[in-house]
Structure 1
């Protein structure tokens, strides 16, 4: 669901003649700093990332929080927008990026304590118009760029991934994808470099140590070809939507609708379905320092794999709550983000399964 990009300031009670009152002016959430709240850690949060030993969470109304004690306590970061944020990624312990609705891209250079805006949806159409002016198939892509520009800043980015402090990708709705080679100082549209003619949403991006994958609607699975600089479509094992991808050297997992999970050990050339025993969607994943993999459902189920994702077993972590982001830590167990905010879940030692 796309949220409105404009919000009203608190109404001002003005004693005007003849009983006339004047509504407070509207302000674009792209220009309104996130409001501080003592309840921020209990409000909906959508993603988590590790920034060295620090944890950083992002969510609705531009809220970003960070924790230096494994998720036990949280502090609210300074954020220049109030747009809903959907994903966060750190390339180093200090350099991170967050993305969200209204085409927002934020950058932190201090481990998530403070953020600056690098890009928003008001700029996307112009970036595309400039980039595609001399494209071999210019009219096709200029038409798309003009549409993006005319519709305004209403397109969300859904995920972000950086290889290092300079090179990264952001992906989102309707085949939106941009690349930076200078740490976000400039962005290059890659809409023309995806095998996605139906413009399905690009829901997630992930790396397995060798290949970079993007997954999306209706079973879309793309893999970057570094030589051609193009995301090429792979034969999909499933026609339902994928919501995430997690990899490690030797294997990659894609997961999504109705508990469907598939694993490949050959870079996505072939896929084997992994039985989860769940009828609900898988919406988050994590990997701990030992290489154990975790999958979490929108209903709060937790699954753990000790064999690189070939099989999963259910893990008891307490009351079920919806999960949209997760980090696995040796000291505290699972740190979870969801529509009820942030929570900690202890894990039984793996050998006890």
Structure 2
């Protein structure tokens, strides 16, 4: 009995020592835990620093103005005064005379007076045409007032409108379900420009000074015509464009906007360079100053649905004045 009691006592002492040992961390374990905590803190700090700096970078430019329209269709700059801008949406046209800082309504201000595209058809900035979903308008006073017209087109569901900078009386219209049409008299009469089957999801059209045409198709990318719209070829490098804007004065300079980025090309789309957006969002409408290829205005639609207006004078490298 005594021997048995001694064995139980020794076993209990050993278990007690093991429990005591398990409850005390060795210096090595303490060092490892401390190092891990420091590493985690450093990683989290770096993450939040990058997030903060990313937010600062994406919002470091001040918008000229904010548009709160339901949608964002078209934008054009007057060839006679770069401070005059016209913005088309699903309920008419807004006009700015101070470079996009403030906007005033025109007589097109009702739902359904849709302007998907606009084009100046005179170099003095007085005459222009605008068209959209079953609408076609003409202005004789630089976009201050508009009158409805009935063009000789198979339909007025028009998703692209552009005038040739070399001859502004030559106007192109992409008619949904019917293809590309051309007018040689400022939109008075029209003819079929091509027999080529074009994608149905054309969102915008623009023209360069050498007669080159650019189409933006969300499914087919950027399409280019080098023969006044008779034939088109696909241009690589831009996926899902929503808008194209060719420089009216510099052949080969063209901008393209997608749902995520702004692209710039100086060689008619052979190569592209991504430009930093001035704010998070989608660059849905773009216009290039008719006499300065580096002067570009873009409307970036952010997560809340508002369109912020920005202007760059260096081809999209920087945007307006930097915020303090």
1-structure distance, mates of 2:158, 2:232: 20
2-structure distance, mates of 1:160, 1:187: 13
Q: Does 2:199 align with 1:170?
A: no
* Larger RCO, structure (CA 8 Å, separation 6 or more): 2
Q: Provide Cα deviations, 1:8-59, integer angstroms capped at 9, x if missing partner.
A: xxxxxxxxxxxxxxxxxxxxxxxxxxxxxxxxx9654643334434443433
User: How has the CA–CA distance of structure 1 residues 69 and 263 changed in structure 2, closer, same or farther, with 3 Å as cutoff?
Assistant: closer
- Hey, what does 1:147 align to over in structure 2? none
User: How has the CA–CA distance of structure 1 residues 265 and 78 changed in structure 2, closer, same or farther, with 3 Å as cutoff?
Assistant: closer
Q: Provide Cα deviations, 1:46-80, integer angstroms capped at 9, x if missing partner.
A: 4333443444343334x334455656462532699
User: How has the CA–CA distance of structure 1 residues 251 and 306 changed in structure 2, closer, same or farther, with 3 Å as cutoff?
Assistant: farther
Residue correspondence of structure 1 range 177-192 to structure 2 within 5 A: 177-190=180-193, 192=195
Q: Provide Cα deviations, 1:96-153, integer angstroms capped at 9, x if missing partner.
A: 0001102x22112232243333336xx644xxxxxxxxxxxxxxxxxxxxxxxxxxx6
- Hey, what does 1:95 align to over in structure 2? 127
Unaligned runs of 5+ in 1: 1-40, 126-152, 316-346
1-structure distance, mates of 2:171, 2:76: 16
* Bigger mean CA deviation after superposition, 245-254 or 176-185: 245-254
Q: What TM-score, normalized to structure 2?
A: 0.59
Q: Does 2:321 align with 1:348?
A: yes
User: How has the CA–CA distance of structure 1 residues 81 and 233 changed in structure 2, closer, same or farther, with 3 Å as cutoff?
Assistant: same
- Hey, what does 1:48 align to over in structure 2? 75
Contact map agreement 1:220 1:233 (CA 8 A) in 2: no
Residue correspondence of structure 1 range 173-252 to structure 2 within 5 A: 173-174=176-177, 176-190=179-193, 192=195, 194=196, 196=198, 199-210=199-210, 211-226=212-227, 230-247=230-247, 249=250, 251-252=252-253
Contact map agreement 1:84 1:100 (CA 8 A) in 2: yes
Aligned residues: 240
Deviation, structure 1 residue 249: 1.6
- Hey, what does 1:253 align to over in structure 2? 254
Contact map agreement 2:76 2:118 (CA 8 A) in 1: yes
- Hey, what does 1:298 align to over in structure 2? 301
1-structure distance, mates of 2:108, 2:238: 41
- Hey, what does 1:83 align to over in structure 2? 113
User: How has the CA–CA distance of structure 1 residues 70 and 105 changed in structure 2, closer, same or farther, with 3 Å as cutoff?
Assistant: same
1-structure distance, mates of 2:280, 2:93: 32
Contact map agreement 1:159 1:170 (CA 8 A) in 2: yes
When Rg is computed on C-alpha atoms for both structures, the one with the higher figure is: 2
Contact map agreement 1:46 1:59 (CA 8 A) in 2: yes
Q: Provide Cα deviations, 1:249-304, integer angstroms capped at 9, x if missing partner.
A: 25433423332344333333x22341536874321224457633344422156776
2-structure distance, mates of 1:225, 1:250: 11
CA RMSD of aligned residues (A): 3.8
Q: Provide Cα deviations, 1:209-260, integer angstroms capped at 9, x if missing partner.
A: 3332222222432223337x51321332244234223335254334233323
Contact map agreement 2:162 2:172 (CA 8 A) in 1: yes
